[in-house]
A and B are shown apart, each in its own frame.
Chain A
Amino acid sequence: MATTKIVIDPVTRIEGHLKITCEVDNGKITDAYSSGTLWRGIEVILKGRDPRDAGQITQRICGVCPMAHGTASILCLDDAFKVTVPDNGRIIRNLLLGSNHLQSHILHFYHLAALDYVTGPDVAPFVPRYKGDYRLPKKLNDQYVAHYLQALEMRKKAHEMLAVFGGKMPPQITMVVGGVTVTPSVDKMASFLWRLREIAAFVNDVYIPDVMGVAEVYSDYKNIGKGCGNLLSYGAFPQDSAGKEKLFKSGRYTKERVLSFDPNKITEDVKYSWYKDGTSGKKPSEGITEPEAEKASGYTWLKAPRYEGQPYEVGPLARMWVNGDYRQGISVIDRHAARALEAKKLAEVMEGWLLQLKPGQPAYAETKVPDSGEGMGLTEGARGALGHWIKISGKKIENYQAVVPTTWNAGPRDDKGVRGPIEEALVGTPIVDEDNPLEIVRIIRSFDPCIACAVHLIKPSGEMKRFRVV
């Protein structure tokens, strides 16, 4: 039987512009290509600006994950400015990031992923839809639709909670080098607390049971979409001013062992990306990106990040696994389950953090733009490990680089031809109906890809003339 090609362009219900190409042979995916199809060049835009502007501009890399970029960027600037943030500032930053994780996880399950399992009402934007494998009995299906609408209100409330200290969302405005601009007060703490409790109740009473419901009815997806099997977390939510103790530890899981993580071992390959081969294998802090749009082997604007040369999956499952909080398995269902359980864990600990705030005490330490310096900011976005790197000279940004979660997950093959995690997760999957490839979109969406994040921090120094040959 001849090999057929399934192209999904655009992949919807994700953030950004993504195209997936699968080769199918005898009803099974034999190969897969993941292509990011928007490039804006945001770090080119950052170059030459006041370093403090990075905290705001990088939040515009992505309107779904501004908190993650804001956090990585501000940690990176704290490092370069050599400033120690007061406890109030550290705690408020953690509360902001935690609020957006809650918002993002609820949004992901109900509004991005659920329509792969649940039949929506027969009106736009719920039609048209792929036909076929929807298994929920009508009564349960209707309940999910009701929860879809309820979840819209809950995720909105999570953003209201974030705005209590963050000013607004998206993006927040309060984080600055040295802390936050807002001084905590009891009224703000109360306003935050009662929203948090309402969201925590939704997570426990609705979100987690709904994920378990899908896991039960679609239990075959516990064996679908494993991917590379390596998991990586940079660690996040510092519990002390030095950032030694974190809610989520940094580390990685490979070959059935949890090992330590060293940021110096990250490199990026570009053989299959539209960049010159000579720039392959560089560390992000030394990253050079020279486009070569005519490159026949190229098929994406994403690079291929590797740790000690190996692909790694990032995201809530990786964080929860490395931390020892979830070790059931690696699959479509496990990604959804780990994400939901992480929401529960966060909602619980955030109440304790909130009560550690000292009302009226400073949340900001004064600092000045240094003449020169370098900084690194590592954190965990809702979608996984995120790192920003800055180089300052003459009080301006000389270079800015980032390696983001979706670059890890949706990146292409590396120079050795080893597929990226999403590509690998697709290979071997049986496809029942090539015209309605629900299996493919279920696998892709379990990673919660965010393409605006993934394709941005690349530095072109020449003209791009041509592009894609798939």
Chain B
Amino acid sequence: MELTRREFLKICSASAVGAGLSQMYIPELVQAMEEAAAKKPPVIWLQGANCTGCVVSLINTAHPTISEVLLKIISLEYQSNIMAAAGELAFSHMEMIAERAKGEFFILMEGAVPTKDNGIYCTVGERNGKEVSVLELLNEIGPKAKAIVAVGDCAAFGGIPAGKPNPTGCKPVSEIVKGVPIINIQGCPPHPDWVLGTIVHVLLFGLPELDDKARPKLFFGETVHQNCPNYSYFQEGKMAKKFGDKGCLIELGCKGPMAMSDCPLRKWNSGVNWCIGVGSPCIGCSSDTFPDGMSPFYSALPQDKRPKKDSEIV
């Protein structure tokens, strides 16, 4: 394999000019992935209290395309939105894979885990005529996985269904499964590059470097504010007063100073655009505290939570 880990990290890093998984076709990366995937690791995609937004975001991946991901990189053994099988045929196949590939398969988990009343608020299949909750299923197969990627705010930190007052007692994966490596990919939903970059890192080089919240530092190391194209407006004190105005959007509620992501550099939907690109404040969906820590979305951050301008730093 020609590609070094260092080179791979450079490719993944959106701050490399014009790069990013989605923006660039890297022959070495493609080759490395295909070699790694000759073994095609089995992947089980579980869904708890979810909305399927993470799946829809993931299939928007530009490079590799989702067809390449499905046919060449992983063996997606269970994914309820895509798979051919249904019902018992699907469910028993998943259980079989979890047993046969014990210690070898990966779980990609979308959605939080309702825990109130023994998890009855989300059942995902049936066994011997009895419904199986996602809580029960995760407790059963979670410890058998090689690693779990918690995809999106809900699986990683609780997200929307855990928003106040958390009616169904939703918890993140890391509070349910212990003893297995868990990687948290935040975002509501996450950018496809964040998910695939992490998967490819795990396949080629093992676990990526994680921060204290188990997030890959590669994607979540800086705030939206730091790399925002409106940063100079902020420094000048030129603030938009209503939507459509030029200027920094902080008075309109922008949570860019609190959100950790590389959105301003990577952009979304094959690099077409991003939130601030259409004059909308960032609502901070890439955060371990979304939604409650970012709500109300359209009210300005209080002065004590705002970043300092260069001129204010003494």
Q: Using a CB–CB distance below 8 Å, which chain A residues touch chain B?
A: 7-17, 19, 37-42, 44-45, 48-50, 52-53, 56-57, 60-64, 66, 111-112, 115, 120-121, 123-130, 149, 152-153, 155-156, 159-160, 162-171, 173-174, 176, 178-183, 191, 293, 362-364, 366, 441, 452, 460, 463-468
* A163 near B243: Cβ-Cβ < 8 Å: no
Q: How far is the CB of B180 from chain A (nearest CB, A)?
A: 22
Q: How far is the CA of A165 from the CA of B275 in the complex (A)?
A: 10
Known A124-B83, A363-B244; further 15 A-B contacts with Cβ < 8 A? A10-B87, A12-B86, A13-B80, A13-B82, A13-B84, A50-B296, A60-B51, A63-B50, A63-B189, A125-B79, A156-B269, A159-B269, A180-B243, A180-B278, A465-B117
Q: How far is the CA of A121 from the CA of B52 in the complex (A)?
A: 24
B4 at the A/B interface (Cβ < 8 Å)? no
B172 at the A/B interface (Cβ < 8 Å)? no
Q: Which 10 A-B pairs have the closest CB atoms?
A: A63-B53, A41-B167, A50-B296, A168-B268, A129-B84, A8-B87, A163-B269, A182-B278, A167-B278, A125-B83
* B279 near A183: Cβ-Cβ < 8 Å: yes
Q: Using a CB–CB distance below 8 Å, which chain B residues touch chain A?
A: 42, 47, 49-57, 59-60, 62, 65-67, 70-71, 75-91, 93, 114, 116-117, 120-126, 129, 131, 160-161, 163-168, 170, 188-189, 242-244, 268-270, 272-280, 283, 291, 295-299
Q: How far is the CB of A114 from chain B (nearest CB, A)?
A: 10
Cβ 8 A contact of A125, one of B60, B77, B120, B299: B77
* B272 near A123: Cβ-Cβ < 8 Å: no
**Are A156 and B270 CB-contacts (below 8 A) given A13-B81, A363-B244?**
yes
* A49 near B76: Cβ-Cβ < 8 Å: no
* A50 near B273: Cβ-Cβ < 8 Å: no
Closest to A451 in B: B52
Q: Which residues of B contact A48 (CB under 8 A)?
A: 164
* B86 near A173: Cβ-Cβ < 8 Å: no
Q: How far is the CA of A181 from the CA of B273 in the complex (A)?
A: 14
B50, B124, B165, B283: most-surrounded residue (chain A CB, <10 A): B50
* B75 near A165: Cβ-Cβ < 8 Å: no
Q: Which residues of B contact A464 (CB under 8 A)?
A: 116-117, 120-121
**Are A62 and B52 CB-contacts (below 8 A) given A173-B280, A176-B298, A179-B243?**
yes
Q: How far is the CB of A316 from chain B (nearest CB, A)?
A: 19
* A62 near B273: Cβ-Cβ < 8 Å: no
Q: How far is the CA of A13 from the CA of B70 in the complex (A)?
A: 16
Q: How far is the CA of A42 from the CA of B52 in the complex (A)?
A: 15
Cβ 8 A contact of A167, one of B76, B78, B268: B268
Question: Interface majority SS on A: helix, strand, loop or mixed?
Answer: loop
Q: Which residues of A contact B160 (CB under 8 A)?
A: 40, 42, 45, 57, 60
* B90 near A10: Cβ-Cβ < 8 Å: yes
Q: How far is the CB of A198 from chain B (nearest CB, A)?
A: 14
Q: Which residues of A contact B269 (CB under 8 A)?
A: 156, 159-160, 162-163, 168-169
* B275 near A40: Cβ-Cβ < 8 Å: no
* B120 near A63: Cβ-Cβ < 8 Å: no
Q: How far is the CA of A171 from the CA of B278 in the complex (A)?
A: 13
Q: How far is the CB of B272 from chain A (nearest CB, A)?
A: 5
Q: List 12 A-B contacts (CB under 8 A).
A: A9-B123, A15-B81, A40-B167, A45-B163, A50-B296, A166-B273, A167-B276, A174-B279, A180-B278, A181-B244, A293-B120, A452-B52
Q: How far is the CA of A17 from the CA of B90 in the complex (A)?
A: 13
* B189 near A50: Cβ-Cβ < 8 Å: no
* B83 near A164: Cβ-Cβ < 8 Å: no
* B296 near A63: Cβ-Cβ < 8 Å: no
* B90 near A40: Cβ-Cβ < 8 Å: no
Q: How far is the CA of A178 from the CA of B243 in the complex (A)?
A: 10
Q: Which residues of B contact A155 (CB under 8 A)?
A: 59
Q: How far is the CA of A176 from the CA of B296 in the complex (A)?
A: 13
Q: How far is the CA of A182 from the CA of B280 in the complex (A)?
A: 7
